[in-house]
Amino acid sequence: MNLKQRNILLGLGFILMLWLSYQLSFAKTIQLKKEVNELKKESAIFDNISQKLLKLKQQNTYFDSILKSKKIIVTTSFQNNLLTTINAVADTTQIAIVSFQQPHLFKIDGTATYTYSFTLKGSFHKITQLLYTLEQEYKLGNIVSVHYTKKKNYRRNSEYLECTVLLQHITQE
């Protein structure tokens, strides 16, 4: 064997040793390093979960306080909230609720429109004040129609005002 052949064998042996060392040790080390980096990222995410959970709880209490300030009860139906609100305001303004109809439902493209119909009896000013309170302060929906009717009680020979109101509430389904 001459010097040229020895150098070629030495070069091939060196390349073979590099390949074997990479396969036997470096490849596993690089793979483990990638796994460690992924686990560190997941650990950072899990460390932030408690902070995110605390922040979400604070937002939940904030939103609950907004609902309480607007006097909206989430656990009951909207119809029950509407009737409770009308009763509460009507008691303070001396208005009588004559009728409260079942809501009319209209659905189109995932949007549900509920139309509530109710009739009130009282003075014009007090009824208007109640309607303003429902729409602006409590924000229960949009008043679509208000129809006033002057009626006469023949037994007592007196006149009174009845008001039929249509209130719409739109929800996404």
**pTM of the entire structure?**
0.57
- Point out the least confidently predicted range of 72-76, 137-141, 165-169: 72-76
Q: What are the structure tokens assigned to 23, written together?
A: 């396969």
Helix ranges, the chain (H): 3-21, 27-69, 78-93, 124-132
What pLDDT digit, counting tens, does each position of 55-103 carry?
Answer: 888 998 888 888 777 766 555 678 888 888 888 888 888 899 999 999 9
**Residue 18, exposed/middle/buried by CB under 10 A (0-12, 13-18, 19+)?**
exposed
What pLDDT digit, counting tens, does each position of 17-59 carry?
Answer: 988 888 887 888 888 899 999 999 888 878 778 788 888 889 9
Q: Spell out the residues 6+ positions from residue 128 whose beta carbon is closer than 8 angstroms to its own.
A: none
Confidence of residue 134 (pLDDT cuts 50, 70, 90): confident
The crossing angle, in degrees rounded to 10, of helices 124-132 and 78-93 is: 140
